[in-house]
Structure 1
């Protein structure tokens, strides 16, 4: 296949491919050309559409005057839209002015109009520049007046002050209802302040302006708020002291300027702006206009009185940039239409077919759009003829797709095979074959060997939302098996290499543990670098959370219930110390590893974990830190954990149940940080009452509490040989529970059932 593909790149197929590329380029270029042709045709057609009312002129000199504006009675919508087209000299073209007409209440200075935009709803006019020159000349004020519905544009103009030591005040007003009841809101003030420095060039010659940012040095700017109609420009007087101090400046730049100007029509330049302003009397300003009198679009439509928007047009609330809300509206042609939306004839459909957008097929114009009717054997839209070259290219493309797809599939297959081989390698190294034989020999039917895929599906690819807890060994996830059973899956961190035979033996032993107070191992997964262990899921959190958690889950943790949990935990540990499980002595006995189900039945967890998964030095250090407060003091000398190490750790748990204090805390004084030391000292000094949890001590159970405290003290002896065995501890706790039940048969909240006797605490599988 590859040979056929490369052969097609020689000789004639290459020429056909080049021809195809030319066709594709034509297709790419046709649409932009057609689009530009359509736009150009639209503009040409727009120029031919009527802009003024029938019998009215729409030209004043070089400027088009569209309705609603007009230059003669009956040619404009209202007196506010009157344009005075006048000639000042016989040899000049007529000039349009926005001015008042007879009967208008506005004292308006005539404003020369340079452009009127129906689409933008604005008008460009020329406004005078306010200036003050020379030491002996008085400062002058400038006044800019606009009649309704005209306002200075907020986003297209800037206020400027140019010169030395200027404080220019721009005071405006806009229509509205003020606090005093007037129809205007006065005192809309903006200030532009400038400063100057005769020695700005570093010597005592002429002053130099080296800052063109217009941020205060010789130039300052500000923005006018929306809706302003009348604007007064004023200078504050310059003192003689200031003129004397900056005499060099005033000698070179004698004038000061303040003005409103269209943003794009003035940019401050230190080298030329003063000369330009000295020779300029007027600058362009953008003003907004609107159709007023009836409010916004909704109000105007409801009134149905003289609605300005005609056929094929839409109404837009205006001005859109006024933060005080729209006061009127303007009209715009809909898409696919052009013309004057205010004209009685309305907007006219654009005939897109005049620009020939369909090179081969027949163009059919539709209202606001068009369509191409293509002949048979041609493509849609552009009606470009199909060819054998196109078919060839499609075939080559298909071959390329097949090649890429085949390569991707081969790569994916190779990765899958590599992944499968890696899982098989881990399975062998982790003792999977030996474990299968031992489980079959010992009858461990309830213990399963899970596949990696099964556990990935059960944990939703080990998603963070499934995390139950994190520790020194790794992370525990909540998993849901296909039979809807909920399990806990321990995914350990990468540790020291496992000994496959030892691991298989330990796991076989653990699979035989069957005790109601021990978390049951349901299975494992050996297809990972570090084996994953699957346990039964315990629903009611840990003993640590109930005693010390933030939510104080143990607030109703009565003494009888605590004693029951202690007895069940002791029975489970004694069971694990039996001869069958003597090799499992590396446990982590602490409140966080005692789980509770919905019936508050204790479940011992994390037994044998360090044997199953060997730890490196870092993890051993983390483990010791995590068990600080529970660790057998003899371990610090012998570096070995024994059965009596479990007894010591259980004694700390008993102390927690009695005092509700954590095993180790830096928040306590240094001598009291270890709960074991604090508890033993309190017992020896007969201060037990000072450290007991007040929630559990009553007049009826104080003797039972003291008996358990004495047992805890024996468990916490420094020498392991002086401590009782876990079996002796379990028997003594059982006896204490029986005594409490006999003395308080009615008040005991946690009754011992016959099956809760020592035989079950110490029972075998």
Structure 2
């Protein structure tokens, strides 16, 4: 170092590899700039990852505790009796108010605001599953918010079942699931609001001297319900067994269109499974005898429940009513007995002002009998039931032995000998007496 060159001069040599001071400063500045650029890149990458994660959640994958529930296209294995699912990727479709995919992820604060902090005055239904509230969203649309009760983890189970079963399903006779909320231990489901109460309220409530449910309206409700169930059984893969078909789960709009609701007990049945073995659940009076005794569940159980519901629609009676005389407590047994005694017209709800034509009544009564057949294999499919309710043909059995019976019984010239032959062919006593 020159004697006249100060130690702090930029051109002064340093002890670091003999480099001059200006070289050291330049290298240090370059390192600082490089570190800054790397920091910016890391921040950008993290931000991109967070956005991608939010899109993935909104497109149909809902985190529940440490697991995720798939609501995309499903593949379900039911050999063990419980449904498991895996989802294929769902392309997000962004709409107004942040709707992405099949439904919206609502926050707890949004639903609290919509229901006025879950005010009891907004309750429109309640049961063992939880409480349903009427809610109004910021865009003034009305929704139904089901707040699931967390009894021993039941809320988690029902939340998962309903999302898996009908998360992406859209059918005019099924209540639409619009979205959900999963915050902390809270599990809530947001449905479309159906504004005319339940079928149970209109059948068993105080409606005056005559019911507004005319015969034609009752048949419209029955057909709509049957179409909704038929879609669950025959229009989805895997098929959905509702397991709780009853009048309180049939919602009605102002035009008396029926919408099947409450899928908290539903089970998924894969294409390779003819039944699923599960704990017996449902509502007393609607549960099929074979399911109640064995726990083996399939779509035939729903068909039995629909048969009971159809009897309820026709008669205006509850499936089980201990306030009635002995012999009339159980609706199915009373119904069969009345038809067996050729008193089919007397099963009609007395609140129906205008009675249906005899032929139309007989057809629907026979559909009831077919649905509650003690042999589950002989019950018609829901698609067939829709066809029978909408058509004029008699709903006889479809197997060969009943073809001959149907021809004999429907013939106006049928004699007692023919009736006996039809009995040998396998037709039931109730059916034969109906058509004599």
Give the alignment's TM-score, normalised by structure 2. Answer: 0.63
1:564–1:499 distance in 2 versus 1, CA, 3 Å: closer
2:135 maps to 1:479: yes
**Which protein shows a greater Rg?**
1
Q: Deviations over 1:615-650 (max 9, x none)?
A: xxxxx89x64xx111111112211233201111111
1:644–1:703 distance in 2 versus 1, CA, 3 Å: same
Alpha-carbon separation, structure 2, partners of 1:602 and 1:711: 19
The residue aligned with 2:385 is 729
Q: Is the 8 A contact 2:242 2:266 kept in 1?
A: yes
Q: Which residue of 94, 112, 119 maps to 1:456?
A: 112
Aligned length in residues:
303
2:90 maps to 1:441: yes
Other structure's SS at 1:587 match: coil
1:643–1:611 distance in 2 versus 1, CA, 3 Å: closer
Q: Which residue of 192, 196, 218 maps to 1:536?
A: 192
User: 4+ residue runs of structure 1 moved beyond 6 angstroms?
Assistant: 498-503
Q: Is the 8 A contact 1:489 1:533 kept in 2?
A: yes
TM-aligned CA deviation for residue 705 of structure 1: 1.0
Other structure's SS at 2:388 match: helix
TM-aligned CA deviation for residue 496 of structure 1: 4.1
Q: Which residue of 704, 707, 711 maps to 2:360?
A: 704
Alpha-carbon separation, structure 2, partners of 1:467 and 1:593: 16
Q: Is the 8 A contact 2:308 2:372 kept in 1?
A: yes
Query: What is the RMSD computed on CA atoms of the aligned residues?
Result: 3.2
TM-aligned CA deviation for residue 528 of structure 1: 4.2
1:503–1:494 distance in 2 versus 1, CA, 3 Å: closer
Other structure's SS at 1:673 match: coil
Q: Deviations over 1:297-350 (max 9, x none)?
A: xxxxxxxxxxxxxxxxxxxxxxxxxxxxxxxxxxxxxxxxxxxxxxxxxxxxxx
The residue aligned with 1:513 is 169
1:673-752, aligned counterparts within 5 Å?
673-696=329-352, 701-736=357-392
Q: Is the 8 A contact 2:304 2:372 kept in 1?
A: yes
1:207-606, aligned counterparts within 5 Å?
427-429=63-65, 431=67, 441=90, 445-497=101-153, 507-552=163-208, 555-578=211-234, 580-606=236-262
1:573–1:525 distance in 2 versus 1, CA, 3 Å: same
Q: Is the 8 A contact 2:215 2:355 kept in 1?
A: no
Q: Unpaired segments of 5 or more residues in structure 1? A: 1-425, 613-619, 739-765
Other structure's SS at 2:221 match: helix
Alpha-carbon separation, structure 1, partners of 2:151 and 2:210: 36
Query: Which protein is richer in strand relative to its size?
Result: 1
Alpha-carbon separation, structure 1, partners of 2:188 and 2:90: 22
Q: Deviations over 1:116-143 (max 9, x none)?
A: xxxxxxxxxxxxxxxxxxxxxxxxxxxx
The residue aligned with 1:643 is 299
Other structure's SS at 2:191 match: strand
Give the alignment's TM-score, normalised by structure 1. Answer: 0.37
Alpha-carbon separation, structure 2, partners of 1:647 and 1:435: 26
Q: Is the 8 A contact 1:458 1:480 kept in 2?
A: yes
Q: Deviations over 1:359-388 (max 9, x none)?
A: xxxxxxxxxxxxxxxxxxxxxxxxxxxxxx
TM-aligned CA deviation for residue 668 of structure 1: 1.0
Q: Whose RCO is larger (CA < 8 A, sep 6+)?
A: 2
Alpha-carbon separation, structure 2, partners of 1:554 and 1:581: 43
Alpha-carbon separation, structure 1, partners of 2:333 and 2:305: 13
Alpha-carbon separation, structure 1, partners of 2:320 and 2:141: 37
1:716–1:505 distance in 2 versus 1, CA, 3 Å: closer
Q: Unpaired segments of 5 or more residues in structure 2? A: 1-61, 73-85, 93-99, 269-278, 395-436
